[in-house]
Amino acid sequence: MMLIAAGWISVLLLVGGLALDHTLTGLVTRNFDEQLGYMLTGMIGSAEIGADGDVFFIRPLGDQRFMEPNSGLYWQIRGKGHEDYPSRSLWDRSLDVPEDHFDAQPHVYDSDQFEGEPLRVMERSIILPGSKTKWMFTVAASRKDLNEQIKTIRAILVYSFVALGFGLLLMAGMQTWYGLFPLRHVRRAIQKLRTTGAARVTEPLPQEVEPLVGELNALLAHTEQQAEEARTHAGNLAHALKTPLTVLMNAATAQAPDLSNTVIREAAVMRRQVDHHLARARAVGRRAAGLSRADVWPSLEAVLRAVERLYEDTRFDLDGNQAAAVAMEKQDLEELLGNLIENAAKYGGGSVFVTVDAGEKTPRFCEIWIEDDGMGIPEAERVRIFDRGARLDTGKPGTGLGLAIVRDVVEIYGGTVALEESEDLGGLLVKLRLPRAVS
């Protein structure tokens, strides 16, 4: 920030200084030239042609310096075929004025013809009444005073702009230091978090960093939630595996005759538990990876093709918005739909009806209804059925983990799942609300 400020200030001061120098030096030079112009006009107004054809002044010029040798102010009149008519101040010198051109208007230029005395020269060509000669009227003045004025102006500009530059850099430095000062409060607050083990930044901080502190606290809360989920996940998995391992250890220690069957049964239980936790872990990882998108209709068609092979006697109907898309991974979406549609076919009476964007359509959520014509689930059991291992019909094969996986994965993606009674088919209605993908 300081380097950028220093570079930008330097460029602006340089450009501004050059522009101001050009303006002021031009103003002083024009004022100097105007004085020469007044003298040249006075010369032309006082000039006459004598009887011998030479030019002369009918009245003397007012500036006394024209009478003092080498005074720095000179005039001269030159005409072809006539001797030069110079001022006394030229003494034994003459102004080198070319005669091969005609200046109808005053012509100003610099000259170095006098050694050690640079001149500012103004000349004009005039044909005086009573003469056919082209007379060149010339007035010259030493540039010493003009150069001194320009030098003084440039010195003032340099000193002023250097002081201004240092002042601006100092102001930029103070502004940078003061502007970044609230971040030092944040650094100390984060250091306090690390050293004291606090969970949030609670001390009052400057208003400028309040949004940053809010995001920091949100990040801390998110990290704390993830850590708590990881601990809960590990504890649940350990608890789920503890009982089968104990059964296996007791059977092996007692050398039970049905040891092989016990191993197979308990290994299947442990594999189901591992599958459940792996599915949940995959969903968490995909959610953290970034925005996901899955088209609902193709996933439903793929799931129905698979389920129809298992339940050939069940009639499946699919209706609704074919362009709907949700913000989740396709694999997780198909796992959710597969669990719910398979349960509807397994426990239903032979009809399953799936509707996409059922109910009130909202821009935030896509609601998928899965209905069957089975016995349904009593209202008192609709919350407990989502627990791991919970089953109402133990006469049919199953592990009781399907709805638990559905609930966990849906909640990870920010959706909801609810059980109600189907008004059309009379069985169970599963309302699956998933966040809609941003188009």
Q: What is the pLDDT of residue 274?
A: 78
pLDDT tens sequence across 412-428: 888 999 898 988 888 99
Rounded to 5 degrees, what are φ and ψ at 69?
A: -60, 135
Sign of torsion, CA 33 35 41 43?
negative
Specify whether the CB–CB gap between 143 and 121 falls below 8 A. Answer: no
Q: Helix 210-253 crosses helix 259-289 at what angle (to 10 degrees)? A: 170
Q: What is the pLDDT of residue 304?
A: 92
Segments making up each domain of the chain, as ranges: 2-149, 225-289, 294-435
What's the start-to-end Cα distance of the chain, in Å? 39
Averaged pLDDT, 221-241? 75
CA atoms within 13 A on the CB side of 133: 21
Q: What is the pLDDT of residue 23?
A: 94
Percent of all residues in the chain with a pLDDT value above 90, rounded to a whole number: 35
Q: What is the pLDDT of residue 230?
A: 73
Specify whether the CB–CB gap between 122 and 107 falls below 8 A. Answer: yes
Specify whether the CB–CB gap between 297 and 325 falls below 8 A. Answer: no
What are the structure tokens assigned to 395, written together? Answer: 């006469």
Q: What is the pLDDT of residue 390?
A: 43
Averaged pLDDT, 202-229? 78
What pTM did the predictor assign? 0.47
The closest alpha carbon to 334, from 428, 434, 420, belongs to 434
Q: Which of 99-103, 197-201, 243-247, 319-323 has the highest mean pLDDT?
A: 319-323
The closest alpha carbon to 342, from 334, 10, 76, belongs to 334
pLDDT tens sequence across 326-366: 988 888 888 889 989 998 998 888 999 999 998 777 888 99
Residue 284: pLDDT above 70? no
**Alpha carbons 334 and 434: distance in angstroms, whole number:** 13
Rounded to 5 degrees, what are φ and ψ at 335?
A: -70, -40
Q: Show the beta-strand stretches assigned E in 80-201.
A: 85-86, 107-111, 119-126, 135-142
Residue 389: pLDDT above 50? no
**Alpha carbons 361 and 358: distance in angstroms, whole number:** 7
Three-class SS state of 249: helix
Per-chain mean pLDDT for the chain? 84
Residue 397: pLDDT above 70? no
Averaged pLDDT, 118-133? 89
Helix (H) or strand (E) holding 76: strand 73-79
Specify whether the CB–CB gap between 143 and 119 falls below 8 A. Answer: yes
Q: What is the pLDDT of residue 282?
A: 64
DSSP structural state of residue 294: E
Q: Confidence band (pLDDT; 50, 70, 90) for 203?
A: confident
Q: Where are the alpha helices (DSSP H) in 295-329?
A: 296-310
**Alpha carbons 24 and 429: distance in angstroms, whole number:** 89
Q: What is the pLDDT of residue 386?
A: 67
What are the structure tokens assigned to 265, written together? Answer: 């049964």
**Alpha carbons 272 and 261: distance in angstroms, whole number:** 17
Provide the CATH topology of domain 2-149.
Beta-Lactamase (3.30.450)
Provide the CATH topology of domain 294-435.
Heat Shock Protein 90 (3.30.565)
**Alpha carbons 269 and 171: distance in angstroms, whole number:** 72
pLDDT tens sequence across 240-274: 778 788 888 888 888 888 888 888 888 887 887 77
Q: Confidence band (pLDDT; 50, 70, 90) for 402?
A: low
Amino acid letter for position 137: F
